Chain A
Amino acid sequence: MTQPVLEVKQLRKSYGSEVVLEDISFSVPVHTATVFIGSSGSGKSTLLRCINLLDQIDDGSIELDGEDITAVDADVDKVRRKLGIVFQSFNLFPHMKVIDNITLAPMKVQGISKEVARESAYKLLDRFGLHDKAEDYPDRLSGGQQQRVAIIRSIAVAPRLLLLDEITSALDPVLVNEVLSTVRDLKIEGMTMVLATHEMGFAKQVADEVCFLHHGKILEWGTPEQILESPKQPETKEFLQRVHEAGRL
């Protein structure tokens, strides 16, 4: 078996006395998507922040392409170059045009020339139907467009692994779909991803594996069909039941 892109082993994370994540182990093979579901506060976002080294873990280890990125002597900047993360709140740089948001990291981190960086940025914008927004500032864009630009910005550096943290939670229901279809396209192209989401339908479409997080632990995991259609744990059933009820309202 080939080496997974990401391997998390017995990860533990707490804020003070509050344990947020405990005994988290999973691995993400290349070209697959692992989706984390669970109610707010179950630790999904924290997990993604830990993988991206934005938060320091308390125990366990995280390996990226077989390299322990939680080792004391790990080069944080180098690790982050291999990881892309998209946040719930977009976090575009408001003082830069869309095109400059996208080309900043390729130019400054990878040392690509301005012309080449702009050309590939335009290609990406073209592909996701945002060509005419290139010279606009982020505040002129809708939430859905901003989030798609944020996705493009993080894949412009060709990351090994893309982390998506509830990327549709801050969006108008009408705009959710355009963002999700962007992610579906990335999946088809073979991007390896870890997602946290509340969109069960979407999880079913893109996930190779679904993990149910409950109070900081992975309570149940398996294929989308196993977890979303015939869950075994009572907590998973209850969670999915609540999601369905909310969806019906």
Chain B
Amino acid sequence: MGRPSESDSGKTPYDFGGTWIPSPLEINRRAARKSRNRRNALIAISSSVVVIGGLILIAVTSPGWKSLSDTFFAWAYGVEVLPKIILGFGTNVALTLIASSCVATLGLSIALIRTSRSPALAPFRILATLYVDVFRGIPMLLVILLVGFGIPALRIQGLTNNVLILGTLAVVITYTAYVAEVIRSGILTIHPSQRAAARSLGLSHFQSLRYVVLPQAFRRVTPPLLNDLVALIKDTGLVSILGVTDAVRAAQIASSRSFNYTPYVMAAIVFLLVTIPLTRFTDRTLRRSIERQNATGVA
């Protein structure tokens, strides 16, 4: 739908059966557009070469470049420690999978509690609001330290001292607060008339949520939720502070042995290999959801 963009000016938006031959006026317009597009592409390429090439040149010709590339880009050494980093990254992946499913469940529950109006849930609403306010406002590193060192310090029998579990718990606590807010905002964007229509058909409060409000809300918040997932993957690296042997910790160990920072660069690359494709995917989902919303006339 909508106006054909300049880039596909070669095609016709509608097929009228092939009897139409473009007028000279249209043919001239197309030729003009084509030459303009070619010129624009040329400008984009040359300016990119100048800017990016210039930045590289500045770095490479700087006086410290030689020593920097020795400590950060010792590729042979990097490849040597790579297996350990990848092994550590397995911990990050596992942590992400476990944490994200916990966060999704808890985040949805808190969002539902905060949007409910039932008087019986009033104390839970207050607690949920307090929880979200507190944990959205504390740096995650602090939450990890508080949970990781605080809970074992309680010395309660039966409570775990396992840093991996405590680290995951801290990540879940923090991200649940973020995700609950994203879901709640999605629920609030659904027009009250949708709920009125559902209730007027005899659907209960819960059924209206389940079949009418939440499916629409989730469509709207999928892109921001995917964004949070990308952020979650890299933030799992923070639990290394508790001594969990993840990719960051593995790189730290390797680098402290050799006084070379290449392992950090390798760890960064490993993270990017996962986060960049996911970010692209998120962008595409976002674009699609915008297109879908624009195509919908009546909400």
Contacts and interface: CB of A to CB of B under 8 A. Distances in A.
Interface of A: 52, 54, 77-78, 80-81, 83-85, 87, 89-95, 104-105, 108-109, 138-139, 143, 146, 153-154, 157
Interface string B190-201: 000110111111
B203 interface: yes
Contacts of B105: none
Contacts of B198: 93
Nearest to A137: B296
Given A91-B197, A108-B207, 18 more contacts: A54-B196, A54-B199, A77-B204, A84-B200, A85-B200, A87-B197, A91-B194, A92-B298, A93-B194, A94-B298, A94-B299, A104-B201, A108-B211, A109-B202, A139-B295, A139-B297, A139-B298, A143-B298
B219 interface: yes
Interface centre among A83, A91, A104 (most CB of B within 10 A): A91
B199 A93 contact: no
A247 B194 CA distance: 33
Interface in B66-80: none
Contacts of B295: 139
Contacts of A109: 201-203, 207
Contacts of A105: 201-203
A95 B215 contact: yes
Nearest to B205: A77
Contacts, number: 66
A192 to B, nearest CB: 16
B199 to A, nearest CB: 6
B194 A77 contact: no
Given A108-B203, A153-B201, A138 B193 contact: no
Interface of B is mostly: helix
A93 B197 contact: yes
A54 B200 contact: yes
Nearest to A153: B201
B296 A154 contact: no
Interface residues of B, number: 22
A152 to B, nearest CB: 12
B193 A80 contact: no
Contacts of B207: 108-109
B154 to A, nearest CB: 47
Nearest to B201: A105
Contacts of B202: 77-78, 80-81, 105, 109, 157
A90 B203 contact: no
Contacts of B215: 95
5 contacts: A52-B200, A78-B202, A93-B216, A94-B298, A108-B207
Contacts of B194: 91, 93
A99 B59 CA distance: 63
B212 interface: yes
B153 to A, nearest CB: 49
Contacts of A94: 216, 296, 298-299
Contacts of B219: 95
A154 B193 contact: no
Interface string B81-97: 00000000000000000
A83 B203 CA distance: 12
B131 to A, nearest CB: 30
A20 to B, nearest CB: 17
A184 B296 CA distance: 30
B95 to A, nearest CB: 33
Contacts of A108: 203, 207, 211
**8 tightest Cβ-Cβ pairs between the two chains A and B:** A91-B197, A81-B202, A105-B201, A109-B202, A85-B200, A139-B296, A80-B202, A91-B193
Contacts of B196: 54, 87, 91
